[in-house]
Structure 1
């Protein structure tokens, strides 16, 4: 399917996680160990935040991440305290820039790994659920972008976890009307520069892989000579499709049907329970 990661902490070069880690996102684009597909070469994108009052920046491309020569320079040049990156393996929709993640609306960025089953059958009814005021902002043809705009419709900017739950419920109810069983499989991430909201959920309760970093402060005590932990800071946090490093104690799997909110150094987990708006 896809692979993605989101980071918050001290400003670091995007290169650190895109290229330099042993199992970096670029490595995963060719050799994913935990994904539904080993190769994820149908485009990529990165999104990052600069000054607090600035809208997020994006760089997206429809070609494979491993072959984009400009990405390495951009990843070395950009430092950010909050960013997200995504490599795509397409399902049902074409490989084109407007279908590459992250999707953006205002200060919000959104990425998704997974699928809506029989999406071409459900697409029209799903899109009719989107707030008409938001509809003109849709650029591509993916199920992921529709999920994002449904979440915005259901209040992502106000209560993000609840909005994602309502989005998931709407997808499942729409699929049920069309006789599509187990329609939704997702790990998703939404961020606004101040918080990272991630969720792991699927209709069949067998979601794609998702992990988060454990306490960096504790790891700094365990590995005091490792410069990587000093660089990111004690409040750093990563949520990602699969681990970047083979280091004991660094990663914890996100349980099935759980949402995580990382904000100002605090990490909160809660049950993800789709519910009607």
Structure 2
């Protein structure tokens, strides 16, 4: 599968999460501890929003292993952002090519995914034909993840992200039933419009891939008053990850099975995720 992280908070250099933690995303590209595969070497991508720049995000995507990408290292030490997504890919069967690397972008939206649609080749035609003609031309690659993104856009991602992703999941499951494919959907997803960040954890068999979020920074400062890194972060800083970036006791909380969460100024929220029939 894949590993990913999503960051929202005080502006930081991207390398602070990609390279510096003990179990950074780059380390996970070689030595994942909780993924299906230990190695995630089929591409890497980062999507970020400028601190003072335009609302549309910028993308960097490469097809080589993250651990050897010198351009990514240069970017990481020079780009600062208060909201970014990063992803390392382990292909589930589709080609290793730039257009298949996450995150995916449409307008000001970013989307990244860990998981798969079972027997995607059998279901692909029915799924793709349901994409709204307005969004269809933006599908550039061949992954199930990008089709999921465009289905969510079709079902109203820009207006009501939670309902749109629930409709997307319900539609995938209904198509799979028609084709006799059991337990078709496995996903952890991060998506953002540049202001708010949503995360989803769901699978048809209710055994979803791992997903964690950091404990509130204010609480961590009380636990670790001498940790200088925590004092550089705002109280509203949130990091959502496929697996923890370190071993600081109490720093990471598992996202519940079949749930969604939103990171937004003024208060985060968590709710149950229930696929909806189209």
TM-score by length of 1: 0.98
1:149 matched to 2:146? The reply is no
RMSD: 0.9
Match of 1:251? 252
Match of 1:22? 22
Runs (4+) of structure 1 exceeding 6 A deviation are none
Q: How does 1:1-277 map to 2 (within 5 A)?
A: 1-50=1-50, 51=52, 53-277=54-278
How far did residue 276 of structure 1 move? 2.0
How far, CA to CA, are the matches of 1:99 and 1:23 in structure 2? 25
Structure 1 residues 265 and 68: alpha-carbon distance in aligned structure 2, compared to 1, 3 A threshold: farther
How far, CA to CA, are the matches of 1:39 and 1:164 in structure 2? 28
Task: Report if the CA contact (8 A) 2:55-2:194 is conserved.
Answer: no
How far did residue 267 of structure 1 move? 1.3
How far did residue 53 of structure 1 move? 4.0
How far, CA to CA, are the matches of 1:39 and 1:21 in structure 2? 18
How far, CA to CA, are the matches of 2:66 and 2:149 in structure 1? 23
How far, CA to CA, are the matches of 1:78 and 1:199 in structure 2? 27
How far, CA to CA, are the matches of 1:200 and 1:38 in structure 2? 21
How far, CA to CA, are the matches of 1:80 and 1:2 in structure 2? 23
How far did residue 141 of structure 1 move? 0.3
3-state SS, counterpart of residue 200 of structure 1: strand
How far did residue 79 of structure 1 move? 0.4
How far, CA to CA, are the matches of 2:10 and 2:231 in structure 1? 9
How far did residue 224 of structure 1 move? 1.7
Question: Structure 1 stretch 51-60 or stretch 216-225: which is displaced more?
Answer: 51-60
3-state SS, counterpart of residue 131 of structure 1: coil
How far did residue 55 of structure 1 move? 0.6
Structure 1 residues 58 and 200: alpha-carbon distance in aligned structure 2, compared to 1, 3 A threshold: same
How far, CA to CA, are the matches of 1:265 and 1:250 in structure 2? 21
Task: Report if the CA contact (8 A) 1:211-1:241 is conserved.
Answer: yes
How far, CA to CA, are the matches of 1:47 and 1:179 in structure 2? 36
Aligned length: 277
How far did residue 265 of structure 1 move? 4.6
Task: Report if the CA contact (8 A) 2:105-2:111 is conserved.
Answer: yes
TM-score by length of 2: 0.98
Task: Report if the CA contact (8 A) 1:52-1:193 is conserved.
Answer: no
Q: Which runs of 5+ in 2 are unaligned?
A: none
How far did residue 52 of structure 1 move? 6.3
How far, CA to CA, are the matches of 1:194 and 1:46 in structure 2? 17
